[in-house]
Amino acid sequence: MIRVPVQNPDGSPAMPTKASRARRWVKSGKATEHWNDIGLYYVRLVTEPSGRKTQKIAVGCDPGQNYTGIAVQSAKFTLFTAHLVLPYERVKERLGSAVIKQGKVIKNVRNRALQRRVRRGRRINIKVPFSLRAHRQKRFNNRTKKGKIAPSIRASREMEIRIITEISQVFPMSKIVYELVNADVDLTSGRKRARSGQGFSPVMVGQYWCVEQLKSIAPVKTVYGWQKNNNGTSQIRRYLKLEKIKDKKAQVRESHAVDGIALAASEFVRHGVTPGKKSDIWGWKGLINITPCIFRVITRPAYFRRALHFDNAEKGGIRKRKGGTITPFNVRYGDKVLAKKAGFTYIGWVGGFTDAKAKNISVYDHNWKRLGQFSPKKVQLIRRSNKLCVI
C-alpha cells in the first residue's frame, strides 16, 4: 500500500500515512495538500499532532556516471524510488567542441581557454605598455587549489544532493546509505591497481565531497560496491528477490532504483552468525518488507544557459544573443506546460520558440526530445521552472 508523506505544522517531516487517511484529513480540514519539486504529493497538518515519535527510515543512493538510483525504505514499507538521469555527458559536451573533418568527429577539445583568449584579444591592446593594458586581477590562485572537482562530476553529485534534500523535507530519514566506487580497485578481482600519475581519481574526489555535503542532512554510511561479501548490494538484492535488468538506460525501477532499495535495506537486514548450542548458524538477520511505491524519473532541462553571444560575429559585426530563458510569451524556458494540438494534449517543458512571423513555442519531453511546436494560445502554464523534469 502506497504511503503519503506527512509534515508537521512547522514543516518538519512526520511519519507517512495511508492515502485514505490523508484524504480524510484534507477533506475535514485537518491538513493541507502540497507537491514538492520531485513530484511527491504530501500533506501538512494544520494542528499539532498527538506525538512526534518517528521510526527508522533509510535512504539508499546508488550513484553512477550517467544514472543514479535512489530509494526510501522503512522496515515495513518501500516509500519512494527514483531514477536520476545525470547531466554528466551534457556538461562534458558543453565544455568542449567537436573537431569535425570530412564529416567525422575526430576528437573533443576543451574550448573555454580558446574563447577566453579570443575575448582577451578583442579587449586588450597589446600596442600600449603592459602597465596600461586592461588586465583584470586574478580571482583565485589556481596553483594552490587542491581537490578540485570536474564540472561534469560536480553537476551529477549536486543533482543527487538536491533530490535527497527534497526527500529529507517530507520523510524523517535516520540514515543515508551511499555506495562508493574505489577507482584504484579492479571491480572484477577486488585487487588494488597500481596507481599512476598523481594517484587520485576525480570520481572518488567527487564522491567524498558529496558524502560531506550529505552529512549536513542526515548521518551517512558508506559502502563499497566492489566488495563481494554477503552484505554487499547484489547479495542483499538477491535475498530480497529484487530483479535487476541489464539495460542501464531503461528508465524503470528495475534498472537502478532496486540497488537503492538494497542499500537502504542494509540498515534493516544483514547476513551474520547466530550462536547455537552445538554450532553457529549463518543466515540473514532482521525483517523488512518490500512494497509497491511511487517511482519517478528525474532529469534536468537541457536549455542553454545565458551567454554573452555566439563565438563568431555575423556580417556587420552583429553578435547574436545566445542562451537564456526569456521568451516573448508568458512562459520561460524550463516551465512545465500543457499544450494542445490537433486534438491531442501534451505535457512537457518549454525549450524554445520560433522568431518567424508565425511565432510558436517548442515543447519538449523529460528526455528533451521535442514534442512539437504549439501556438502560444494553446499552451497553458502548469508550474514555473524548478530546473527539474519529473515524470
Q: Which pLDDT band holds residue 218 (cuts at 50, 70, 90)? A: very high
Residue 227: predicted pLDDT: 61
DSSP string, 164-227: HHHHHTTS---EEEEEE--TTB-TTT-PBPPP-TTS--HHHHHHHHHHHHHTTTS-EEEEETT-
CB 267 within 8 A of CB 175: yes
**C-alpha cell of 289?**
518488507
Q: Which pLDDT band holds residue 211 (cuts at 50, 70, 90)? A: very high
CATH of the domain at 241: 3.30.420.10
- Which pTM does this prediction carry? 0.86
Q: Which domain holds residue 31?
A: 1-50
Q: What Rg, from alpha-carbon coordinates, does the chain have? A: 26
Q: How far apart are CA 147 and CA 209, in angstroms?
A: 9
Do 83 and 205 lie in one domain? The reply is yes
Do 291 and 330 lie in one domain? The reply is no
Question: Ranked by mean pLDDT, which of 27-36, 93-102, 140-149, 306-315 comes out on top?
Answer: 27-36
Do 79 and 187 lie in one domain? The reply is yes
Do 361 and 226 lie in one domain? The reply is no
CATH of the domain at 370: 2.30.30.520
pLDDT over 90 for what percent of the chain?
59
Q: What does the angle CA 266 – CA 298 – CA 254 come to, to the nearest 5 degrees?
A: 45
Q: Across residues 295-302, what is the average pLDDT?
A: 96
Do 42 and 61 lie in one domain? The reply is no
What's the mean pLDDT when you consider all of the chain? 86
109 in a structural domain: no
Do 257 and 181 lie in one domain? The reply is yes
Residue 334: predicted pLDDT: 95
258 vs 100, residue with greater confidence: 258
Q: How far apart are CA 37 and CA 65, in angstroms?
A: 23
Do 259 and 188 lie in one domain? The reply is yes
pLDDT in tens, 176-206: 999 998 765 554 444 555 444 444 688 888 9
